[in-house]
Every structure is written in C-alpha cells, then in structure tokens.
Structure 1
Amino acid sequence: MNTDATAISIASGSAADAKPGNTNYTNADPAFRVFVDTLSYLEPEELALVIEAYRFSEEAHQGQTRLSGEPYITHPLAVAGALAEWRMDSQAIIAALLHDVMEDTTVTKAEIAARFQKPVADLVDGLSKLEKIEFQSYQVAQAENFRKMLMAMAHDLRIVMIKLADRLHNLQTMAHVRPDKRRRIARETLEIYVPIATRLGLNNISRQLQDLAFRHVHPMRFRVLKRAINAVRGNRRELLSKILDGIHSKLHEENIEAGVFGREKSLYSIYRKMAEKHLSFSQVLDIYGFRIIVRDIPTCYLTLGALHARYKPVPGKFKDYIAIPKGNGYQSLHTTLIGPYGTPIEIQIRTQSMHNLAEEGIASHWLYKDSEESGAHLQVKMHKWLHSLLELQSSAGDSSEFLEHVKVDLFPDEVYVFTPKGRILALPRGATVIDFAYAVHTDIGHHCVAARIDHELSSLSAELANGNQVEIITAPQASPNPAWLTYVKSGRARSKIRQYLRTKQQDGSSELGENMLNQELLVLGIRPSEVPTAVWERVIRDSGKKSKREFLADIGLGRGLATIFARRLAAHGEVPLVEAGAPAPLVVRGTEGTAIQLATCCLPIPGDPIVGYLRQGQGLQIHTANCSVALKSRNSEPSNWIRVGWEPETGKYFDVRIKVTALNVRGVLGRVATGISQAGANIENVSMDGENLGMYTVLHFLVQVSGRLHLASLMRRLRRMTDVVRIVRDQE
C-alpha cells in the first residue's frame, strides 16, 4: 500500500467542485480527484456522503497547517485514501476524513452523529485522544489513550484500520518533526502498532511501519544497512537467478503449476536478526527468500516434497502453518533449504487465498471476494482476540498495567501446544505451564500445582515447546503465588494473577483496617457494632471512597489513620457512647497474608514481644521489639508504629534462623539436621560458612517452629549433642 499519491497538498479548488453526481473534477485538487476515482466501488449516495465529509473536514481544519506547511486536510485525505485502497466501506472512509476534527477543532461528537449518523461518530470518538483530561505524566496519558483505542477496537475493527493508516502517513511525513519526538513516535510504533498490525495479519503495512520506524529510531544504522544491501544486490543477482531457475525446472518436471517470486527481506527484519543473533551483515546470508503460490492445499505439500528432493532441507527448519495456522489466521508451509554454494534458501508455499490473507490480513475481508469465507473466519478469530482485551481491561489495576498486559499479548511468535483432548492452544514463545493453565480456564490457573508434559511430571515454571501435550494437576487449597509473575509470559495469566493478589491483599487489608478502627473506637468509648449505618455512609462518602470495604482497606494499607476516622465517626451525635477503655494491642495470627507481613530482618515468632509498623500503601509489618531496624525507625517515625500482640493459639509454623557452631567432623551436618527433625521442626534452608575454621564449622539453618517455646525446646536438644559447641538465634 502506498499513500504517497494521496499526500499532495491541496493548492486550488475545493470539494464544492466535486458535487454528488458530477464526475467532472477538473477544477478540484489533484489529490482529491485521485481519491474520488478510487471510490468507484461505492454506491452514488455513499460517494455523495464521502464528498460531503471531505467538505466538512476541510472547513473544520480551515487555517490549520502541518509542520511541513501543507494544509492540514492533506493528512485526513491521505488516511482516507489508504482505506479506499483496502476498499473499506463509506462509514470507515468518512471517519478517516473526520478522525482529527474532535481532537483539533470545536466539532463535537453530537454534530458528527447528526450529520453523518451515530456509527461514524462512534468511530471518530474511538480514534480521538483524551486530551481534555489531566494526567500525572505523559506515559500515563499515552497508556490511557491506548486503552481507549484498544477498547474501541474490540467493538469495531475498522477503528484499528484507520489508526494504522493514520500512523503510517504520520511516519511517512515526519521530516519536519523534532528528532526526539520522531524517535518517541517511532519507538511507540515498534512497541504497539507493528505488533497490532502483525496480530491482525496486516503483514504488508506491518513491514512498512517497521522500516519507517527503524529509519527514525536508528537513522545511521538504517543508512548503513541500506547501502550494504544495495551493494550486495547486484553481486547476488546471479545466485538468485540460478536458484529461481532450479525451482522452476523442478516444478515443471513434476507438472506443478505455480508462481515463484523472489523477495528481499525488510531492512528491519535483517537488522533484528543481526541484533538478536549477534551477527555482522556479511554473516546474514538469507536476506532473500522465495514465495511459491499454487492452486490448492494438496499442491502445497506436493511442492514441498519436490523441493526437498531438489535441495536438502535444514533439520528443524520446517513449519506447517497450514495444518496449524498462526493465531492471526496466517497459513503457509515454511522450509529452509541448502542451495547452491551452501546458501540457505527460505521458502514459503501457499495458495492464492492464503497469500491474500498473509499480506492484507483482516483487510482481505474487504479486498478479495475469493477469500470471503477465509476473511469471515479471520474476523471471528480477531474479534475473539479483541474481546479478550475487554477481559484484560476488567482485571487490570490501571491503564499502565493494562498496556503492559497488551504488549505481552501482542508477541507475534507463538508456540502451539495440545490439551489431553487434542485442543490446540497458541501461547507466546517462552510460555510456561502456568500460562497454559490460565489459557484453559482461570480457575485451573488459580489452583494448579504441577503438570504432565508429554506424560512426564513437570514443574509449573517449565517452558513449553511446539507440539507439547500438557495436562494440568490442580489442588483445591492451592492459590496463585506472587513468584509466578517472574516467569509467566501471557498477558492473560499475568493479569489474572495480579487481579487475584490484589483482591487477596484488599481482603486482608480490609480486615486489618477494621480491627485497627475498632480498636480506636473502643478507646473513644464507642462500640463498633452500634455505629449507625447512616453515619458510616456519611463518613465513607466524605472520604471519597465507594464502599466500606475500600474505606477499611485504605486504613489497613496505611493510606488513612484509624485515629482520625474513629474521631470522625464519633463526631456525629447519633453514635452512643460507653465507658472508654484502655487501648488494647492489635492481635496478630501470622496468617493474614499480604495485609500483615512478618519482617525478614528479625523473623518474629509467637512469644516474642512485637511491634507493628504501618507502611504507606503496603500494610502492617511486624518486628520484634528489640529489632535494630525497628528501633531506628521508631525514633524517626513514631506515629507509624502501633501496639500489637500474638493470638494465643496461631496453629501455624513460623520461619526462624539459628546459627550452630559445631566440631568440624564427618557427618556433623546430618546429625544436627536429624536433631532438628526429631524436635518437630522443618528445615527450610541450610548453609555453611565458606571460611575454613579448622576444628569448628558454622551451620546456618532456616527452620520452622510453632513459637518461642518450641524454639527453646529445639535449642536445648541441640545443645545436648556432643558435636555442638554453641547455638544462638540468628537475627540481623
């Protein structure tokens, strides 16, 4: 697709010269005449509406110019021209002509809807940025704009087609944009728009966007690489001709009718290969590939066999995307052969219908009647993916997190794995068992504990490969672990895990906040159960929170002080007062999860005197009263510390560190470990000092005990051992 022809500035005439029903555009601008001529596939009344939209946009942008000095209307005209090349409907073309009027002029959505109907207004609104809202930073604003655009895409695919055409023309005409802004727009294109185009199967526009963005992000590398390719183009012409003749003769010998085309890889794909594999340009031999177009699927496989008979295939380089299409509907046979002089030859074999889909993707639905059935199937797949964005949106914490999930989900490289029943799932390359579990169902992901990959037991972090059959093993009591976020690859899995952990944190924080508030109310002489509902609603509303749960969670996370909110509740006369009591310590069980965390510096256990440090936005951290870290902070931030105490029976085991100095004799580690086990404690970790201490060795154990009494019993048992010289509790 080339939009340069439609980017000519409007120097004379106007849309008024191109009235509906009038095919004489001699007085109209040349770019406009070219544009109208490409709309011959529209009905006359649709063409009339497009011309009216052009006139409307021209008037709205009157007096506005691009940085190049051209009238602004040249840009929407170029975008609409690109859509006309895709033979898109009149509503999409009108929206392309009007796509900047809401953003850059005083025109409103209501005006557009009244003049060009609501579907067009919705398209324009989906393309407009949120510039009237103030955001914390440019990054947050961009994330929110992307969120809006992607959500609109999920409802109407035409929005992304217009946006991609808009981005392509902007990249083609960035000569007058500041270099830093050029680089930012180009990076954004590579990170977001190129993967979206690839996901939608728009390989043609994807390649154009890649090379244009590459030129702006790395201008020097672009020029050097372009010169190098131009230099070798002539040198390799004889080799390419020899390969092409060889393919033609073999296909003729086998009576296979086919079109054979040599193709040069895009500059960006060559650069990426050099960067990823640390190659110099001279080491990249496969800058050319060949594409073979045949009449039907059986002929694809016949052609593959014929070529494998002519040239030796490279092991492991064959991919059958016909039997198992890519997630964006792409189908072809891929193989790499060893050609003359040991040159690797990349071959793609496909039918004409597959070729249409491969080059134009979702746009082929409008472009090619012969692939109408395939296009409809592709539309279903794309709508399914786009609607998965709605699910990501609902579970994302904010726009930045949503954009992060979408970026992960836009990876074009995929692995294809099977469920035990033979269902194929496409996952990002590098996906793990956990990604697979969440792809099957959220509940299976939440409760997975292990898996069988090709019938062999495997861990949750195991990376999946093409063709693996995966069976997930679940347990009712299992739940997501924050550590999973370090190795999951799919946006869905990452989103679901974060959503679960957020909910769990809010539940724990809400419970902690309620306990803290109740404690303060009792100090003021108020029974928490006797606070009227109306008083609660008033205080919650005044604090700007949506619910009591959110209100209490903020207290538990340290975003609001329980003392202040207790006084606000007491300030209302409807609250009955009782005799005020002495402040009681907050009770800690040690099983509260993320709301209450035991400090790793001192590892408190039941029986230890403890204090609580309320961290802004992170909940309550429990330290031992004599912890050196706690003592420093208590002096500098006394208001953040609260009185806490242990629940009498926690029914839980707690980590504690012990340091054992023992005789450096054979088998001492085994005997000490046996003693710990006999004392009813679990060993979580063990290490030894690296220094050679002669007759003594120092052993560091991380063990689990039920409390201080249990620890004392364990230490007494170890002291009675003849090999043990000294044992102490190890606290940083």
Structure 2
Amino acid sequence: MRGDTVAPNPDAQGILAAILEQSSRHLFGPTSQPAHPPKPQVVSLAGLIEKISHLKPDEIALVKKAFQYADSAHLGQYRQSGEPYITHPLAVAELCASWRLDAPSIMAALLHDVIEDTGSTRQELIEIFGGKVAELVEGLTKLDKLEFQSQAEAQAESFRKMFMAMARDVRVILVKLADRLHNMRTLDATTLAKRKRVALETAEIYSPIAHRLGLNLVYRELQDLSFRHSSPFRYATLDKAIKKARGNRKEMVVKILDAARMTLTKSGLEADLRGREKTLYSIYMKMRQKHLSFSQVLDVYAFRVTVKSIDECYRALGVLHALYKPMPGKFKDYIAIPKLNGYQSLHTTLVGPFGMPVEFQIRTQDMHRVAEEGVAAHWAYKDGDDHLTEMQTRAHQWLQSLVDIQDNSGDSQEFLEHVKIDLFPDAVYVFTPKGQIRALPRGATALDFAYAVHSDLGNECVGAKVNGVQLPLRTELKNGDIIEISSTPNSQPNPVWLTFVKTGKARAAIRHYLKTRRYSEAIQLGERLLSQALRQHGGDAALVTDDIWEKLLHWTGSKGREELCADIAMGHRVPAVMAKRVEMLIRESKGHSEQMRLDTAEWETARDDMPEHKQAIMIDGKGGESVSFPACCHAIPGDNILGYLGKGEGLQIHTHECRQAQRLHHRDPDHWVDVIWAEDIQRSFDVSIRVDVKNAKGVLARIAGTLTSADANIAHVAMDDRFSESAVGIRFVIQVESRYHLAKVMRRLRQNQDVLKITRVFGK
C-alpha cells in the first residue's frame, strides 16, 4: 500500500487470529456473515491524516499504530452494510479529528470497539498504548459480559458507566457522540425495529447530551436522523413539502439577504450574512406544538450575521431593527446571559416582506465556533488545566453534578431517569442574593434552586423568598428572579417534594434521604417485630448470641443483622418463621443458659403466661415510613387493631372491621402480628365518615363549620353522584385524635338540624 494507507501487521494478525471468530455484540454489528457479500477493499488513512495535521509527528505515529492494531483486531468482521468493520472506527476517528481533539481521543476512537467485539483486553491496551487511552476505551465499552435481569437494566447500567467515565474525562462522551453520529448516518443497513429503537435512544439520550455540551451541529443532525428513522413517513412527507416550497420562497430569501447586506454595509459594518433552512425536526416540532399545517409555518429560514466584536453585534441589531420592524417579545440576549451550554448570540425575529417572520442570529466569529462545536471548540486538553473557557467550565460543572446524582441514586435505572430529567434543552436564569447567576431547567422551582446550591441546603429548606416576597417552595422560577432560601437544621425532606421538583439532582437527593430514613426506621421496626415473635415463644432476643445470629444470617442469606431486620419490617420475611428458626438454633446449641434449654412445653407456658402488652407491638403513631394506616379503614386510637406485614410495604395497621384486612388474613395468615395502641399518642389520624344531610342551599358550608367547631380538620370531601331532591350523602375524611374525639365530633354533628344520619366508613 502507498502513501497513508496502512496495511495490517502480519504478526499482529497471527496473534489475534484466534480471538476474531466470535460473533458481534456491537449495536450495529461486526458480523462474519454480512448482509451483502464483502468485496476486497483498501481502507485508506489519507482522510484521517489530513485532518490530524494539528498533532505532533510522534502523535501522528501513535494514531497510525492504533489504526494498525484496530485493523488487525477487526480483521474478518464486517458491518451489516457489507463494509469491513474497520471503516466504522476510522470514520469515528475522522469526526473526532475534525473537532481537533487530541491524540488519545483519536486513538480511543479507532480502538473503541476492540474490547467489546474482539479478544483484546484493557491490560493489553495499557501495555501498548498507555493507561489514558485504555481508560477512554474502557469508558466507551458496554457491559455485555455481565448478567442483568432485563435488557433495560443492562442498558441503564451501560449508560451509568459511560456517564461516570464522562464525568472523569469529557473526551469519553465526545468520542461516543462521534460513534453514535456515524452509526446514525449508516443506520439504513439495519432492520426497521432496530432503527426505531436506536433512533428513540438517540433522541432521549445522545441528542440532549450534544445540546447540553453545546455541540449544536451534532445535536441538529442527531435530531434529524432520529426523526427520519423513527417516523420515516412523516419525515419523507415533510421533506417533499419543503423541497416544493423551497423554489417558491427562494426569491424572498434572496431579497431579504440583499436588503440586509446593503443596510449593514451602509452602516459601516463588515458582516458575513448567511441564510439557512431550519431542520426538518424543528419544523415538525413547531407544527406539533402549535397545531399548524406546513403552509402555516412561515419562518422556515433563519439568517446568521457574523461580525468582529460584541459591540458590533449590538450595532448590527439596531441596523436590522431599523430595516424591518421587530416582533414584540421575540428578542433574546444570549450574549449578556449565555445559555446553559455556553451558547452566545443575539436572537431577534423581524417582520419581513409580505408580513413573513424572519429570524436573525447575530454573533462574533468566536461565538459562532462555540455555537457549532460547543465543548470541543478551542480544544486543548491538559490534566488540571486552569484555562478552560466559560463554556467548558459549565460543561465540567454539569458533569460533576452527574457524580452527585450517582451518589444519591439507588440503581442504574434510577440514575438514568434522573439524568434524563436533567437533560433539559431550555433554562431559566436566576440570581442569588449576592448577584451570582444560576441556570436551572425550565419549570424549576425554588426548591430546585436550593438543591442546586447544595444538597444539605435543599434537605434543610423551610422557605423561600422570590424577589423579596415569601412564596411556596413549589413556586416556578422565571428569568431574572432573585432567590433567598431559609433553612433550619431540624428540617427534613418531605415525600411530597418529589411531585414538583424538576432537576435530577433535587429528585435524587430527596429520594436518597427518604430511602435512608425509611431503611433506618425499618431496621428498628424489624428488631421490635423479631423481639415480639421471640417473646411469644417464651424467648428473649437479648439472650441470642452472636453465634446464633451468624447461623441465622447464613440460613437467610442476609448480609447482616440490619438487612435481616429491615426485610422483616418490610414484610419480605415472616417474624414467626424467624423466631422458630432461632428457637431451633438455640436447641441445637445445647444452651449457654437455662433460658436457652427450655423445652417446647416450657416455651409455650412462658408465652401463655406473658402479659398481652409484652407480646404485642406498641403503636404510637410515630412509625414514619415503616408504619402506615391504609385508607381502607383509617384506624384510630381506641380501635381494635391488628398489623399486616405487606411485602415491601412495611407494617400496615388495620381495624378488625376492615373487609380488606379480613380478605388479606384469609389469604395470608402468616403475615399478621399483634399490635396495640400506646397510652399517650400525640398526633391526629384520618378517619372516614358519611353524613346524610338535607339537600339545601349552603348545607356543605354549615356542616364544615360544625366539624371545625369540634376541632376536626377536614382532609377530603366528596359528594355522592346520585342524590334525591330532599337528601344528599357527603363523605368526609377528617382528622381526629382518638375514638373519643370522633364520638365528640359525631355528637356535635347530630345537633346540626341539616344532618339526617352519620356513619363511620370501614373498608372499601
């Protein structure tokens, strides 16, 4: 081979021949049986070498070496299109080179599939190319060799691995985006089902990441390709309509360009003025969101004005506003306040000829480079480089936030869910009381702002002032708002917060706190349930030795006492079964104390002689997440109650009258435990009542007044759908302290002349 065409190394081929027989696990495949018969092809490095002229000669030599290795490793493998597989990593490397990435990035692009699809190992790459290149390749490798319960779990774990590698080194995602872009360009060779699946994944994950990192050229192309493959008919129809309209609007576009150029030149501004057609996807989304037909979408074209300085940007804006009238509310200054991904430009929409809206974007050359290439612009990677651009600093801050989300996520699928939430294309810009600017996703609340500042501030947040006015934590923020957060050390997250926070960081931190608190409560409840079960058998948990615990843990497979107790509390294990097992282990141990040597009769006698209050679990209403009072019967102090250990639901307290409890007891009798009310309970409980009243004007207000006068808070109210002319039934959920308090409320209601009948509602 001549020039920059590199032949595979015969020795390397011999070494790797044994490991090249395996079939592909790659998304688009190397395959030993391509869809089209392979033809002998000479794969040339000329295109890549031309694009890496920014590298040093020794770095170019390393890139050639990486190509040789990849070519040998993928020898005999073909893409589903029938091309040699090496054409794919070579194309990915060329994309990375066009962004002027460094040598390790381009080498990783060439080698990115060798661990996954050949017999190459990470250690082998370290020995040949060094640790940094091997680390980049490892970060790009999917987790196909591990076993997962589902495809979704495997995919989520692969994404989590990639995001964590990306947080350590942004080059991982740059190479991955190049990989995905080339795969999307060549997706036609795959099946329709795979095209749609990959297109959806690209639209949900990779396209938003490209936007978040400011790679707008990649972002727009991935969006269009995803649209093309996920909705081929709509794409083709819209493409045909645009081509048809292009000729009709060409004269209009030329007229606008000529008029704008002439006006800018007369004003002494040297500007590069270009028009571009908006992407099919952006036009399609505008049609969907605004319910427009294609003929109603007038602003298909956008015009970009590039000048030399920021001062000239604002001068050009004034000139264009003098040429065409600006549309109210359609001006955005992204120079003064850049977008979350570092994008800067002036955006304005003007009323052009014949009333057609015309969008202009005004920026400097440097801004244009950043707008197109994002975090890859002005690339100069150095470990610990302190001279990052503002856009690169923002990108690194976002990547670091991924680490925080990972730390607070329970599993890979939850982590991926939080990251998807965080990949918002739009943002609002708000200020701290000291004037520092913070960018948050559109729709973010004051609570999201608190968590954006620090997780501890969010956890302890009790209130927020927006522009000096005290407002609820769920208040959505607007551009320019000044936010002041108040907090107390004793405050803690409320589960309700999950219903309105918008950022992944806030959602992950709240869930992590609640899970930790629930787990701690579950451990305490599990210990109480196990102690109760042992007491009912005449035993004592305090007398269970470490050796007995070890044997019990071995029998259950639990990792420790805390895990076993939590499983008992959450209903995954039955306390009585655990107690019986402990009894058996104690018998086998032949006793270290007299208590441990009790025979069966003695255990039963001890249990029968024990007072009821020592056998049952005390319910004081402070069980937190681990003890709940289901709405089916709304148990309150004074009711006869029993406890059900629902699997994964903790201890549920039901009344004896509850029909759902009766059904559960018949179906699953082993999961019930004895419970009794504590003597001094300082809280209110929900209870359901039905009140039949006269059908008269203002009756609901009068009944509500009676309830309030009896110190009963109304939590919910609903009226029967069917009622007569003379009477109507109203269901209330009220909050009372006990049966005595409920009786007082019902007596007060009976004194109301509108009330015909009162009934407490049990069960569903």
Amino acid corresponding to residue 7 of structure 2 in structure 1: S
Query: What's the offset of the Cα at 1:367?
Result: 8.1
Taking the TM superposition and a 5 Å limit, the aligned residue runs for 1:606-621 are 606-621=637-652
Identity %: 50
Q: Which residue of 1 aligns with 2:188?
A: 175
Q: Which residue of 2 aligns with 1:586?
A: 617
Are residues 544 and 692 of structure 1, via their aligned partners in 2, closer, same or farther at CA, if it must alter by over 3 Å?
closer
Q: Which residue of 1 aligns with 2:7?
A: 14
Amino acid corresponding to residue 549 of structure 2 in structure 1: W
Q: Which residue of 2 aligns with 1:442?
A: 455
CA distance in 1, matches of 2:84, 2:361: 44
Which of the numbers 468, 478, 483 marks the counterpart of 1:455? Answer: 468
Check whether the contact 1:15–1:51 (CA below 8 A) recurs between aligned residues: no
Amino acid corresponding to residue 636 of structure 2 in structure 1: I
Q: Which residue of 2 aligns with 1:420?
A: 433
Check whether the contact 1:661–1:699 (CA below 8 A) recurs between aligned residues: yes
Amino acid corresponding to residue 483 of structure 2 in structure 1: V
Task: Note the alpha carbon deviations across 1:246-297, whole angstroms, 9 max, x for none.
Answer: 2112212221221111111111111121122221111111111011111111
Are residues 350 and 519 of structure 1, via their aligned partners in 2, closer, same or farther at CA, if it must alter by over 3 Å?
same
Are residues 534 and 309 of structure 1, via their aligned partners in 2, closer, same or farther at CA, if it must alter by over 3 Å?
farther
Query: What's the offset of the Cα at 1:553?
Result: 1.1
Which of the numbers 375, 398, 416 marks the counterpart of 1:385? Answer: 398
Q: Which residue of 1 aligns with 2:24?
A: none
Task: Note the alpha carbon deviations across 1:638-694, whole angstroms, 9 max, x for none.
Answer: 222222221122111111122233445566545544443333322333444455544
Task: Note the alpha carbon deviations across 1:282-322, whole angstroms, 9 max, x for none.
Answer: 11111110111111111111111221122111111111111
Check whether the contact 1:187–1:213 (CA below 8 A) recurs between aligned residues: yes
Taking the TM superposition and a 5 Å limit, the aligned residue runs for 1:37-116 are 37-116=50-129
The yes-or-no answer on 1:509 pairing with 2:502 is no
Are residues 293 and 594 of structure 1, via their aligned partners in 2, closer, same or farther at CA, if it must alter by over 3 Å?
same
Q: Secondary structure at the match of 1:716?
A: helix
Are residues 167 and 329 of structure 1, via their aligned partners in 2, closer, same or farther at CA, if it must alter by over 3 Å?
same
Are residues 525 and 185 of structure 1, via their aligned partners in 2, closer, same or farther at CA, if it must alter by over 3 Å?
same
Query: What's the offset of the Cα at 1:108?
Result: 0.7
> TM-score normalised to the size of structure 2?
0.88
Q: Which residue of 1 aligns with 2:657?
A: 626
CA distance in 1, matches of 2:5, 2:667: 73
Check whether the contact 1:569–1:575 (CA below 8 A) recurs between aligned residues: no
- Higher alpha-carbon deviation: 632-641 or 596-605: 632-641
The yes-or-no answer on 1:728 pairing with 2:721 is no
Are residues 12 and 471 of structure 1, via their aligned partners in 2, closer, same or farther at CA, if it must alter by over 3 Å?
closer
Query: What's the offset of the Cα at 1:362?
Result: 1.1
Are residues 425 and 508 of structure 1, via their aligned partners in 2, closer, same or farther at CA, if it must alter by over 3 Å?
same
Q: Which residue of 2 aligns with 1:348?
A: 361
Which of the numbers 242, 245, 253 marks the counterpart of 1:229? Answer: 242
Aligned residues: 712
- Higher alpha-carbon deviation: 528-537 or 415-424: 528-537
Check whether the contact 2:6–2:68 (CA below 8 A) recurs between aligned residues: no
CA distance in 1, matches of 2:592, 2:415: 43
CA distance in 1, matches of 2:84, 2:721: 74
Q: Secondary structure at the match of 2:607?
A: coil
Q: Secondary structure at the match of 2:49?
A: helix
Query: What's the offset of the Cα at 1:701?
Result: 2.8
Check whether the contact 2:5–2:46 (CA below 8 A) recurs between aligned residues: no
Taking the TM superposition and a 5 Å limit, the aligned residue runs for 1:325-404 are 325-366=338-379, 376-404=389-417
Q: Secondary structure at the match of 2:634?
A: coil
Q: Secondary structure at the match of 1:606?
A: coil
Q: Which residue of 2 aligns with 1:24?
A: none
The yes-or-no answer on 1:136 pairing with 2:149 is yes
CA distance in 2, matches of 1:376, 1:667: 66
Check whether the contact 1:428–1:490 (CA below 8 A) recurs between aligned residues: yes
Q: Which residue of 1 aligns with 2:332?
A: 319
Check whether the contact 1:588–1:647 (CA below 8 A) recurs between aligned residues: yes
The yes-or-no answer on 1:192 pairing with 2:205 is yes
Q: Which residue of 2 aligns with 1:644?
A: 675
- Higher alpha-carbon deviation: 529-538 or 305-314: 529-538
CA distance in 1, matches of 2:246, 2:753: 81
Taking the TM superposition and a 5 Å limit, the aligned residue runs for 1:538-687 are 539-540=552-553, 543-570=556-583, 571=585, 573=589, 576=593, 577=595, 580-582=606-608, 584-664=615-695, 668-687=699-718
Are residues 313 and 527 of structure 1, via their aligned partners in 2, closer, same or farther at CA, if it must alter by over 3 Å?
same
Which of the numbers 158, 163, 180 marks the counterpart of 1:145? Answer: 158
Query: What's the offset of the Cα at 1:588?
Result: 1.5
Which of the numbers 17, 22, 31 marks the counterpart of 2:44? Answer: 31
Q: Secondary structure at the match of 1:79?
A: helix
Q: Secondary structure at the match of 1:416?
A: strand
Query: What's the offset of the Cα at 1:13?
Result: 6.6
Are residues 190 and 671 of structure 1, via their aligned partners in 2, closer, same or farther at CA, if it must alter by over 3 Å?
closer
Task: Note the alpha carbon deviations across 1:89-112, whole angstroms, 9 max, x for none.
Answer: 111111111111110111110011
Q: Secondary structure at the match of 1:315?
A: strand
Query: What's the offset of the Cα at 1:720?
Result: 3.5
Amino acid corresponding to residue 653 of structure 1 in structure 2: S
Q: Which residue of 2 aligns with 1:263?
A: 276
Provide the aligned C-alpha RMSD in A: 2.6
Amino acid corresponding to residue 644 of structure 2 in structure 1: Y
CA distance in 1, matches of 2:348, 2:4: 52
Amino acid corresponding to residue 308 of structure 1 in structure 2: H
Which of the numbers 247, 269, 273 marks the counterpart of 2:286? Answer: 273
Runs of 4+ with deviation above 6 angstroms: 10-13
Task: Note the alpha carbon deviations across 1:350-394, whole angstroms, 9 max, x for none.
Answer: 1111111100011113289xxx99853322221111111011011
Q: Which residue of 2 aligns with 1:218?
A: 231
- Higher alpha-carbon deviation: 419-428 or 90-99: 419-428
Q: Which residue of 2 aligns with 1:22?
A: none
Which of the numbers 295, 298, 307 marks the counterpart of 2:308? Answer: 295
Query: What's the offset of the Cα at 1:467?
Result: 1.8
Check whether the contact 1:705–1:711 (CA below 8 A) recurs between aligned residues: yes
Task: Note the alpha carbon deviations across 1:307-353, whole angstroms, 9 max, x for none.
Answer: 11221111111111111111111111111111111111111111111
CA distance in 1, matches of 2:373, 2:97: 14
- Higher alpha-carbon deviation: 672-681 or 515-524: 672-681
Check whether the contact 1:201–1:357 (CA below 8 A) recurs between aligned residues: yes
- Higher alpha-carbon deviation: 442-451 or 117-126: 442-451
> TM-score normalised to the size of structure 1?
0.92
Are residues 518 and 285 of structure 1, via their aligned partners in 2, closer, same or farther at CA, if it must alter by over 3 Å?
same
Check whether the contact 1:531–1:575 (CA below 8 A) recurs between aligned residues: no
Query: What's the offset of the Cα at 1:478?
Result: 4.2
Amino acid corresponding to residue 278 of structure 2 in structure 1: K
CA distance in 2, matches of 1:311, 1:514: 76
The yes-or-no answer on 1:500 pairing with 2:513 is yes
Are residues 721 and 373 of structure 1, via their aligned partners in 2, closer, same or farther at CA, if it must alter by over 3 Å?
closer
Q: Which runs of 5+ in 1 are unaligned?
A: 1-9, 18-26
Check whether the contact 2:196–2:229 (CA below 8 A) recurs between aligned residues: yes
Query: What's the offset of the Cα at 1:187?
Result: 0.8
CA distance in 2, matches of 1:139, 1:501: 25
Check whether the contact 1:11–1:29 (CA below 8 A) recurs between aligned residues: no
CA distance in 1, matches of 2:423, 2:455: 20
CA distance in 2, matches of 1:316, 1:286: 16
Task: Note the alpha carbon deviations across 1:470-499, whole angstroms, 9 max, x for none.
Answer: 333445554333232222211111111211
Check whether the contact 2:6–2:44 (CA below 8 A) recurs between aligned residues: no
Q: Which residue of 1 aligns with 2:732?
A: 701
Q: Secondary structure at the match of 2:188?
A: coil
CA distance in 1, matches of 2:386, 2:127: 35
CA distance in 1, matches of 2:618, 2:759: 28
CA distance in 2, matches of 1:439, 1:12: 51
